[in-house]
């Protein structure tokens, strides 16, 4: 950490700051310049997070040097993590596609969509049983019944299941029905939920919050790893910007950036990012070109009757065409799909 002192800081204030740093078992290095004095503090900065050096008299700014996360970083673990979900490897050379409806609506429709996305090449079925909706008057999901439909669709198709958790009290149900537990964007900083899923050994897909910086996103993943669960898949799904022409702004540069900083795999959700079917296709291609390890895509056999997000769901035929195009893009960046 670099402590920048205010212009007229007194010697007494400096002594007090130095004393406080030493009390934390850290070594201050004083550098006196012509316009400013700075104190470089060398040691484990994570300890400093408990002590607000910025609140000391005479301090203008306290600049962190080390990244605040540890377990998720490449400095901690050099090799890329490959999350093994019952034999399907996420984070390896193969790009994994998850697809399915926004929400589970009934058994028949779900199984039918599952068969379609499997035929298209998806390996994992998505579908929400618990739905976080902005309005209390929107469809909130079928709950446990929806989870059972997912399990049945899995039995019929062999697809693995990714579905969202909203409440720590639902973990037992999740352990029974889900192969990957999704933490949605709105719960990215629901720290109790992060700790809860971290205490089980089931793969977790963590979506980036609407206004989460990459640093905050990785710190939320750190919560899960710190609780003991290292099987974390990150998911970029668009951030909130001033632009309203698309549902969110897909921050694709987060993909190569996170791959540098962290060893965790990262996938992209183009459906929620853009919110319009006609833009899902080009952005899915772009995601793979940017290096994504997978995609999660909304597909519905009858979008106009979907209980949610119909305007962004691909028809199964469009999904199939997309998959064949994605194969070509994947090959162009030396990956398979």
Task: Restricting to residues 204-223, name those near a second copy by CB under 8 A.
Answer: 210-211, 213-216, 219, 222-223
28, 22 contact by CB (below 8 A) = yes
Residue 101: CB atoms within 10 Å:
27
Identify the helix (H) or strand (E) that includes residue 18.
helix 11-23
Helix residue ranges per DSSP H, 121-252: 144-157, 171-177, 191-198, 214-226
**Closest distance between a second copy and the C-beta of residue 271, in Å?**
12
For position 288 contacting a second copy by CB under 8 A, the verdict is yes
Out of 11, 79, 86, 243, name the contact with a second copy by CB under 8 A: 243
Q: Decide: 99 and 299 in contact? Cβ < 8 Å.
A: yes
34 binds a second copy (CB under 8 A): yes
Distance between CA atoms of 131 and 164, rounded to whole angstroms?
Answer: 8
Instruction: Quote the least distance from Cβ 160 to a second copy, whole Å.
Output: 25
**Contact flag: residue 18 with a second copy (CB under 8 A):** no
Query: Which residue number, 11 or 244, has a Cβ lying nearer to a second copy?
Result: 244
Q: What gap in Å lies between CA 229 and CA 50, rounded to an integer?
A: 25
Closest distance of CB 12 from a second copy, Å: 15
The reply on whether position 19 binds a second copy by CB under 8 A is no
Task: Name which of 296, 297, 281 is nearest 329 in CA terms.
Answer: 281
Site for a second copy in 35-54 (CB under 8 A): 35-36, 38, 40, 42-44, 46, 49-50, 52, 54
* 110 vs 254, beta carbon nearer a second copy: 254
Grouping H, G, I as helix, E, B as strand and the rest as coil, residue 235 is strand
Q: Select from 29-37, 91-99, 116-124, 148-156 the region that touches a second copy (CB under 8 A).
A: 29-37
DSSP string, 185-202: GGGTT-HHHHHHHHTS-S
- Find the binding residues for a second copy in span 265-284 (CB under 8 A): 273-274, 278-279, 282-283
Q: Is 260 in the site for a second copy (CB under 8 A)?
A: yes
d(CA 82, CA 318): 29
By CB under 8 A, the residues from 125 to 184 that bind a second copy are 132-140, 166-169
Of 143, 226, 318, 320, the residue at the interface with a second copy (CB under 8 A) is: 226
Q: Which residues contact 33 (CB under 8 A, 6 or more apart)?
A: none
DSSP-assigned beta bridge partners for residue 94? 336
Among 256, 317, 324, 336, binds a second copy (CB under 8 A): 256
**Binding residue for a second copy, selected from 290, 296, 297, 314, defined by CB under 8 A:** 290
Three-state SS letters, 39-98: EEEECCHHHHCCCCHHHCCCEEEEECCCCCCCCCECCCCCCCCCEEECCEEECCCECEEE
User: Which is closer to a second copy, CB of 13 or CB of 148?
Assistant: 13
Task: Give the nearest distance from C-beta 17 to a second copy in angstroms.
Answer: 10
Parallel, antiparallel, or unpaired for β 88-90 and 96-100? unpaired
336 binds a second copy per the rule CB under 8 A: no
Please list every residue from 89 through 128 that binds a second copy, using CB under 8 A.
none
Question: For residues 19 and 176, which CB has a smaller minimum distance to a second copy in the complex?
Answer: 19
In the complex, least distance from residue 149 CB atom to a second copy, rounded to whole angstroms? 19
Nearest CA to 101 among 305, 324, 322, 327? 305
Radius of gyration of the chain (CA): 23
* Complex with a second copy: residue 118 or 247, whichever CB lies closer: 247
Interface stretch with a second copy, choices 65-73, 110-118, 121-129, 199-207 (CB under 8 A): 65-73
Residue 75 sits in the site that holds a second copy (CB under 8 A): yes
């Amino acid at each position: 950490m670099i402590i920048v002192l205010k212009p007229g800081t007194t010697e007494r204030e400096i002594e007090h700051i130095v004393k406080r740093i030493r009390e934390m078992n850290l070594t201050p290095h004083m550098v006196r310049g012509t316009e400013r004095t700075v104190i470089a503090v060398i040691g484990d900065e994570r300890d400093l997070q408990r002590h607000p050096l910025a609140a000391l008299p005479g301090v203008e700014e306290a600049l962190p040097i080390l990244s605040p996360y540890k377990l998720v970083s490449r400095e901690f673990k050099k090799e890329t993590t490959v999350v093994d979900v019952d034999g399907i490897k996420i984070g390896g050379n193969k790009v994994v596609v998850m697809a399915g409806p926004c929400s589970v609506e009934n058994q028949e429709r779900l199984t039918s969509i599952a068969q379609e996305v499997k035929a298209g090449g998806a390996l994992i079925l998505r579908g929400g049983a618990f739905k976080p909706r902005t309005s209390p008057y929107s469809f909130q999901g079928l709950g446990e019944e929806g989870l059972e439909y997912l399990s049945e669709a899995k039995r019929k198709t062999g697809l693995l299941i990714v579905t969202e958790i909203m409440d720590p009290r639902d973990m037992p149900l999740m352990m029974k029905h889900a192969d990957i537990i999704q933490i949605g964007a709105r719960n990215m900083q629901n720290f109790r939920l992060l700790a809860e899923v971290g205490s089980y050994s089931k793969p977790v897909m963590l979506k980036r919050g609407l206004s989460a910086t990459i640093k905050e996103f990785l710190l939320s993943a750190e919560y899960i790893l710190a609780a003991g669960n290292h099987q974390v898949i990150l998911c970029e799904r668009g951030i909130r910007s001033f632009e309203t022409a698309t549902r969110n702004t897909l921050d694709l540069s987060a993909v190569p950036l996170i791959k540098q900083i962290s060893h965790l795999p990262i996938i992209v959700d183009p459906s929620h990012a853009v919110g319009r079917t006609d833009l899902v296709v080009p952005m899915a291609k772009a995601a793979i070109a940017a290096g994504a390890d997978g995609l999660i895509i909304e597909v519905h056999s009858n979008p106009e009757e979907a209980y949610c997000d119909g305007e962004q769901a691909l028809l199964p035929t469009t999904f199939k065409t997309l998959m064949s195009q994605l194969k070509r893009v994947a090959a162009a960046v030396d990956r398979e799909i």
